[in-house]
Structure 1
Amino acid sequence: MLSYLEVNNGFIELSSKKNAEIAPEWLQLPNKVSLKYLCQGILEVKPAQLAKKSVVISCGVHGNETAPIEIVSGLISRIVTGSIEPKVNLLFILGNPESMLISQRFVEINMNRLFNKAHQNYELNEKTRYEIERAIVLENAVSDFYERYNTTSKQHFDLHTAIKPSFHKTFAIRPYNNMPMERESKKLLASMGIEAVLQHNKPSNTFSAFSVETFDAEAYTLELGKVKPFGENDMQDFCKAIECLDNLVQDKAIGGASSTDIIEYKVVAEVIKQSENFKFNVAEDVPNFTAFPQGYLIAEDDNYNYRVAYFEEAVVFPNPNVPIGQRVAVMVTRISED
């Protein structure tokens, strides 16, 4: 296992092997850091000394979002070769290895809609089995990790890249939390190169939301840039995120950014496709965070219209080509700096 993880894309190579040897015992590095390969795509790292923080770093929940997978694989190789020494408990997850192998967002179901028991809404059959069962595996791995260490500080960073262009090249989605975001958390995201944060207005079924709702962890879905095939990512585009993750793993102070560098948005509505008569009055190529004025008719459906209610609302993740009953877009508005 270590021979794979020593090279920059070794975690990718290891995770691509369904029958890779699972280490039943901890493997100890010369610096006393220990590793255990729990199952395909899931690696736990334990520091030499007792740690006060437990951090989950996940990627590849969507298999075609390759840059985060390469970022995580590089981070693991630096740990294994001793370039950096972790001072926090770590769980690394490559979420959907099967979709990674076919270079697709998912095999059959969008896995990032299957958490917090949402997989129960899908029929279990040969087509759906892999992603439903994989989502359960990921929940169990995170639960076992947080419960075993039971530290007061729990964090989860689920790394993604976006399909659509965006006015904010990088942004974070903060799962529903009735507490305002702390200044240090904003500084952390800004240090990663995140330009904006979107605060959700209700519980959801994403992977990061599972960690928030089940363990009260500080968790985010991080959109770090644009989807590209393996081998076409320029790691310089992600240098801030890479440096910040290295510091986070080493439990070093995060500096170089201000909490005021983050633009905050809140979700005000979700546009849902209710029938085949649904009409979405937004251009197909519109970037994320495109703003529309008050009164603009965003969507029309049977017995349903959505008009912009606030002075201005921006559209995020627009996609009218979804099945009936699913989300077409998220509508957000900026949070006042006051």
Structure 2
Amino acid sequence: MLSYLEVSDGFIQLAQLPHCAQNENWLSLPNGVSIRLLDAGVLEVKPEFDSNKALVISCGIHGNETAPIEIVSHQISQIVTGSIQPKVNLLYILGNPKSMQVSQRFVALNMNRLFAGAYKNYTLNEENEYEIRRAEQLEKYVSDFFTTHSTSEKVHLDLHTAIKPSYHKTFAIRPFNPQKKRLDDNSKRLLLAMGIEAVLLHNKPSTTFSYYSSESFEAEAYTLELGKVKRFGENNLKDFSYAIRCLDALIQANDIAHFDAKELIEYKVVAEIIRNSEEFKFYIHESVENFTSFPQGYLIAEDFDYNYRVAFEREAVVFPNVNVPIGQRVAVMVTRLRDD
């Protein structure tokens, strides 16, 4: 295992082996750090000395979002070779190794619609079994990790890259939290240090990986869209320098880069556009950028049982994708929040 983890893309290679050996026994590194491989693409790291911080760094929930996978694999190689010494409890997750192998977003099911117990809503078959079982198992690994560190400060950063072009090149989604309507300044600075330009504050429970950690363990959790989807080997990691520096600082318990919290642009979700039938019509072109705005009254979509027109002075569309199954989300509509 160590021979794989010593090279920059070793964790990627190890995760994709047909029979990736699990080992729940801790392996000690020369610098006192301990690691154990819990599953294909799931590595737990324990620092030399006790820490009151527990950090989950996940990526590859969609297998074609390659840059975060490469970033995480490289960081693990630095830990194993002693180039950097982690001082917090860590759980690394490459979410969907099989979709990574075929360079696809997913194999049968969008895994980021399967968390918070949503995998239970599907009937298992030969085609979908892998992603359903995988989502269930990933929940267990996160649960075991955060339960073990129940008194720790808990953070989950789920790293993604976007398929579509975007007005904001990087942005985050903060899962619905009825107790916290807005982000505090420290949270804003964390996102800015990760290179994030804007954040969406979700308005209801969801089935994403970050929502699972937030709702179940009160973790500070985000889905982070760090840039554009590219193939393995085509990413310029200089484009992700903010995120890399921030992650390195977080795992070493160092101070992150300081930003003015007011620089972060905040949006709130005001509606989700759902496809309810084959009659569904969507009046936004598939090439439109994320965060494209539409004027009040503009007809966005209609189905047999509803139509949706822009209700606020201006609303922007995020994640438009009409090619989804009936019952799933076609787009999110957001409005910008401004300080009073």
Structure 1 length-normalised TM? 0.98
Q: Which runs of 5+ in 1 are unaligned?
A: none
Q: How many Å apart are 1:326 and its aligned residue?
A: 1.1
Distance 1:256 1:216 in 2: 25
What does residue 172 of structure 1 align with? 172
What does residue 330 of structure 2 align with? 328
What does residue 315 of structure 2 align with? 313
Distance 2:217 2:224 in 1: 19
1:52 matched to 2:52: yes
SS of 1:246's partner is helix
Query: How many pairs does the alignment contain?
Result: 338
Verify the 8 A CA contact 2:35 2:46 in the aligned structure 1. yes
Verify the 8 A CA contact 1:119 1:132 in the aligned structure 2. yes
Distance 1:280 1:24 in 2: 49
Identical columns (%): 64
What does residue 19 of structure 1 align with? 19
What does residue 109 of structure 2 align with? 109
Q: How many Å apart are 1:243 and its aligned residue?
A: 0.3
Distance 1:275 1:223 in 2: 29
CA RMSD of superposed structures (Å): 0.9
Deviation by residue 1:165-201 (Cα, 9 ceiling, x = unmatched): 0000000000001212111010011011100000000
Verify the 8 A CA contact 2:21 2:40 in the aligned structure 1. no
Q: How many Å apart are 1:320 and its aligned residue?
A: 1.1
Q: Larger deviation: 157-166 or 142-151?
A: 142-151
Q: How many Å apart are 1:20 and its aligned residue?
A: 2.5
- 1:21-170 aligned at under 5 Å gives the runs 21-170=21-170
SS of 2:326's partner is coil
Distance 2:217 2:262 in 1: 28
Distance 1:277 1:270 in 2: 17
SS of 1:156's partner is strand
Distance 2:16 2:274 in 1: 36
Q: Larger deviation: 276-285 or 128-137?
A: 276-285
Q: How many Å apart are 1:120 and its aligned residue?
A: 1.4
Distance 1:235 1:101 in 2: 21
Q: How many Å apart are 1:150 and its aligned residue?
A: 1.5
What does residue 183 of structure 1 align with? 185
SS of 2:8's partner is coil
Structure 2 length-normalised TM? 0.98
What does residue 255 of structure 1 align with? 257
Distance 1:24 1:43 in 2: 10
Deviation by residue 1:78-111 (Cα, 9 ceiling, x = unmatched): 1111111111000000000000001100000000
Verify the 8 A CA contact 2:280 2:303 in the aligned structure 1. yes
Superposed structure 1 runs of 4+ greater than 6 Å apart: none
Distance 2:223 2:300 in 1: 26
Distance 2:252 2:61 in 1: 25
Verify the 8 A CA contact 1:115 1:139 in the aligned structure 2. yes
Distance 1:186 1:296 in 2: 32
Q: How many Å apart are 1:260 and its aligned residue?
A: 1.2
Verify the 8 A CA contact 1:18 1:40 in the aligned structure 2. no
Code of the aligned partner of 2:109? I
Distance 2:307 2:127 in 1: 35
Deviation by residue 1:208-240 (Cα, 9 ceiling, x = unmatched): 000001001000000000000000000000010
1:303 matched to 2:305: yes
Distance 2:16 2:113 in 1: 23
Q: How many Å apart are 1:317 and its aligned residue?
A: 0.3
Deviation by residue 1:288-337 (Cα, 9 ceiling, x = unmatched): 00000111111111131100001100000001111221111000000112
